[in-house]
Structure 1
Amino acid sequence: MASNYACRDSFYMDIVVHPNIKSDFTFTEYVNCSPFTVIFNNASTTGATYYWDFGDGSDTITSDMNPVSHTFSNSAYTTNAVFLVTLIAENPEGCTDQRTRTLEVYPDIDASFLADIDEGCVPLRVQFSNVSSGGYTYLWDFGDGTSSSSDSPGHTFTNFTNAPVTRQVRLTATSRYNCVNEITGDITIHPKPLARFETDRIIVCPPFDALLTNTSTNADQYNWNFGDGSTLNTVSGTPFNHTFDNITTNIAQYNVKLVASSTFGCVDSAMQNLYVYPPTIAGFSFNDEGCSPLTSSFVNESVMGETFLWDFGDGSNITVKDPSHSYFNFSDDDISYFVTLTSTSRYGCTDAMTDTVFVYANPAAEFIALPTHQVYPAATVSFTNVTNPGPWTYLWDMDDGSTSASEDPAPYTYSTWGEFNISLYVSSAHCYDSVSHLIRIFASPPIADFDTIIPGCEPLPVQFTNSSLYGNTYFWEFDDGTTSDEFEPVHTFNESGIYNVKLTVTGDGGQDYAYHQVEVFRKPYVNFRVSPALVMLPEQEVQLYNLSENGVIYLWEFGDGNTSTEYNPNYRYTSEGFYDIRLTVWTVNGCMDTLTKLAAVEVVPTGVIVFPNVFEPDMSGPNGGYYSLSEPDKDNIFRPVWEGVEEYRLEIYNRWGVLIYVSEDVMKGWDGYYQGKVAPQGVYVYKCTGTFSNGKPFTHVGDVTLLHHYYN
């Protein structure tokens, strides 16, 4: 330092100058959605301690250069938030520097929604309520391949399986600044029960003990209404029996209904008509006691019987309405028989009644008187009593005024020639029997004779009654190439015609001849033809062509309980199935024969095909047109309601007559698409041709309106 006078002096001091310090930091994004996580890179120099102030009320201190992470939030939902981030760098000597930078955070967005129902039965309609905050646009993913951009859409969920299906619904909310938030929720769709049941029979005689088999699925509770005033509520699917009765004279119908429900309130129902024929009641009266042989005459008092079977309890039976039957008791004790009448109605229903007949022990008087023929003066006759053993009393009448009470009388000699009808009378405590045998003591040549034969139908068995006198041998010539040397032969004439039967009687007094004619009537020839053999309900008739010969009376049985006496009847069946047809023919002489053709007619259900006049295609894309009968309510395919269709062709034309679609599969309809695009809304013409299961062709032509409907 120098003064004005050039004087000088000096002073020395040490000055310490610390290194320069500079605060700085960087980050990659300056604006983003809340929450906004930012990584700050410390770019300061010569610092040792760093004070971070994030501008949102939070700070931190670091002592290294490592990046610092911080998350900024903006819960205002409507306005942007600006944050001033400051970094103060300080060295060990206390020197500081600071740097401030600005970043911006878009409003927060919170996706949220409510569903009016989150679990239920198919089809399940759910209404969603969007309660999101900060959103501008929304995208709903319903978890079943469909979506919506509506704010609060409604959606119908389906389930075609046999188990509950859970769909995860996702809502994605986007703000005006393209900030995104999403939330998910579950919707559970329970399958609809499928009510089904089977019966072992549909129609039968009373009592109808029906076996009901529950084949329902997806159900927990079953409510049965049997149509007869009784019901059953059960949780069991085990097959069970229910008895239906009918005390009327007409067929009774019972509408059996099954309502199947699940624990979630899902319900389905199925119905089946069961029928019970009217009953038949067997009854009869008769003379129920007497001596053997006892002929009982039975009076049939059955109700609604069509055919009858009598079991007389002795191994014999018969099918006439009011029969007579002879009972025999060859013992010396009383015997009882159980008589059973089984009455069968026109529907095949049966009922039986059993009563008892008492047959008292009865002597069967019989003896052998030998010789039966002799020429006087030989006139002594010997007797062999062959009456069944028993405590009987006997009386012999020799037919010449002489009698005997002996069981086995001594030989008796007649005093003159002639015919003597020797009688034996045998009696018991209740019963009596007698028998007579004629012996002849000849004094003249033989006389040939036999009884006139009543005409009959082929083959005709004839029991010849020989009334010849004074004969020893007999020779029969039947005029058909056969002969017999029996006294009273049985002969069968197998073919129709008139036969001159000759009897030659040879006796001690010579030989004689006798002739009688036997007339054998011809049986009818039975044949018929059925056309057509396949008919369809309900209108098609069967024509019966009678090819029989020699008939005058005809009875047709159509296999369903109905009959006709016409020569060539027409008949219309009312139920499907195979039916046997029987024709019985009588001639003018009462000869009868029958022909039955098994399964002569097949009756099939009616053929039906009906088309709708409007439908809406699936706007989300073509589905090929195939449909399932298990989805009867599916209406996005133009298809028919049908039954009994065998051959099928469907053609679709546009308004200019251009063929745009063809299907030859009745299970494939038109989905409303042409060349990969949905067809324009408007009216189209369809033509359907084919044949029903009975071979009958059909043609249907009409128009159908295609409607577009878009769902948000």
Structure 2
Amino acid sequence: MHVKGGFIHYTYNGAGSTSGTSNYTITITIFYSCTAQGPRNAVYLGIFNASTYATVLTQQISTTTSATVSKTTYNPCMSDPPSICYEIYTYVYTTDLPDISAGYILAVQDAYRTSGIINITNSSADGISVTANIPGTIGGVDYHKNSSPNFLFGDTAIVCYKGPFTYQFGATDADGDSLSYEFGNGLNMKSPSGNASGSAPETPPYPSLTYTSGYSGAAPLGSGVTINPTTGLISGTAPSTTGEYVIAVYVKEWRKGVLMDSVKKELQIYVYDCSLTAATLNTSYLNCGNYTFSFENESSSSSISSYLWNFGVPGSTTDTSTQAAPTYTYADTGTYTLKLYVATSGGCTDSASSVVKVYPGFSPGFTVAGSCYQAPFTFTDTSYVKYGSISSWSWNFGDSDTSSQKDPTHQYSSPDTVTVTLAVTSTEGCSGTVSKTVVVSGKPDLTLPFTDTLICSIDSLPLKAVSDTGVIYKWTPAYNIIHPDSADPVVYPKDTTVYTVTVTQKGCVDSAHVTVDVLQYITVSLPADTTVCATDSIRLDPVSYALAYRWSPATGLSDTAIKYPLAAPASSTTYTVIANLGKCQATASEYIKVVPYPSVTTSGDTTICYGDSAKITAVTTAAHWVWAPDSSLYEPGTLQPVAHPAGSTTYLITVTDTLGCPKSVSDSVTVAVTPKIVVSAGDDTSIVIGQPLQLDATANQGITFDYAWTPADWLSNAYIYNPVATITSSSVDSITYTVTASTAQGCKGSAALTVTVYSTLPDIFVPSAFTPNGDGHNDLFKPIAAGISSLRFFRVYDRWGQLVFATSRLEDGWDGTLHQRLQPIGAYVYMIEAVDYKGKIIFKKGTVTLER
């Protein structure tokens, strides 16, 4: 059976029946859900010594009273009102207890909680411990003659998710003692799974429940809900997740400033999916960055149908909005009163107001001076505020020390890397925080602009060290140095010397070194004279320890004052460099000869027929050349080779010279090849005298051709691709026509077909036998057509009537097989039906003999 909460109240009745005892009536109130199942007829009360936790008494108590409490009336402006129902059982027990200085702990336990409670983990495995304390002697004063506070009943308040609510957990005290209220941890059992309902309570102390992230005993409904410590009224904005939550409220009883005891009331309340028509705003709105605000009703009510916002600009009639979540930009700084009016379609209304503060122009900041832990760091506030002024400072120096001064100093105890944070607040209420990482060193900061340099023996050199304010400088050795106790001495060593600077600040010491290499003189050299191709550039490459360079002439140079300029002379030029190391100087020159690139020009781009050749030509000033590809060239070592490519080819000639420009130059020539002309005149055929025969020549697609047929005898037109041949002479047995297809470039291709002419009427001639033995003679059985335009069918059957061959193509014949198997020697029946060129049907039937 799942318990939803409860509390214990006791009443002091006077002295007990025996000396040294007191009589108490203990009332246990347990809350159950109206839908919970299981026995409720009795509970076990445990009474324990409050100091030693020893068991004083264990008593089973039967039900004294029970009642059902439910919500019957609802605010008419609430949407989706929930059903709320509790069964409240009371168990009353009166007993005498010895008057002991330790006092007592009263406890009742149940092993079962409701599963799925939002704000605690694994609630189905948790139990509940309901407790109260009877005081004993405190500070030498006996307080056992006391009755505990008694909680008021108000447990049918409705809590809608994300909505404002109040929930009364107040109590009264018969003795007139002062009461205070606070949230606390709900109490579990030590072993819920091993202690079923109806068992004697475990001995205290009892463990706290484990709360989920975002919740705790002190904030059981999150940070938006608080309890009034004087009245016990719980109020705030409900969580956004619907479901059941555990709340434990401890009421503490005070008498003349002495805390005597505490009584805990624990209850599982439900946050429902409902809403109340409400206008709810934040307490105030502040913008320290700009003039624009975004407002919305903080109530989650879904029944609101209209909104009216007034942004509080004095004298303005346009500072309103009917949007649910408006954005408004104020024209000036200041403090304004924001008002919101909401209404539902059913007539429910509500309103709220708040303060809006507009003070843009606020930015926190600070600077830090210091580096060594043995000297104080100085922190300076640099925060910017346009309106008002900074009114408070809160420094956290990253080592547990703090300050509220504007510009504090702080000394660290040891080297460290810390995060320093400054939080500032302005007189207008703006606040902000800024953090910086500060390195606390064991020595002062010390940097040198350079640590290795070069001078000439007749020069002097200023040195420089940068460190913290207030450090003491000392440079060593004291050799040829001016102002060795300053940050920037001047040195003039005659030999290479390593100078060391030491800085000291209140016990912190650091040092650094700079090497001054000294040369007695300098030299400069350039590579040997060289050549460069015209329009190209070359990097000048002097060898020297000099630190300054000056080149001349400037013509063709990328920069005349750097060590390695880029030279691109238009003509042969001698470049001179003057190299300086301080006052020491040296000079060198280099002659750069400019040589033109070799030239090459090709000609001969042409188109040839497949199989033909063409001469290509190149003209060059170079000494050497090479053609590529050269596999289809005759005499590729000449400047006029003959090309005979199989397909279109681009030939590249690359030339090089011996005059000093080593780079190659190329040009190309293309020989396009017309594809091979492939012509078809059609298959050989047969006709009868006077039968028109349609010829049809074809050639490569995508190319335009001229056609010529020979001989021209009997043709309707010998110069088209599809003339009609009509042979009317009986003296012609056969004729072979040749067709030639020609392109505009003269490329040609030819094909021929033979026409056999029969001096008969249109007919089909069928051989009487054939020999399919693969010798190339008479291997196929097929009809010979004369004057036939189409074959409807040609079929061959064996002697049992099985079809062994069929076709409708005149050029096809039977090879004496069926399914690739040789058929036996013997007679076969054929049937033929065809249509002659005049449209007449010709049918023939007979036998043929297969021989091998």
Same fold (TM over 0.5): no
State the TM-score, normalized to the length of structure 1: 0.31
State the TM-score, normalized to the length of structure 2: 0.26
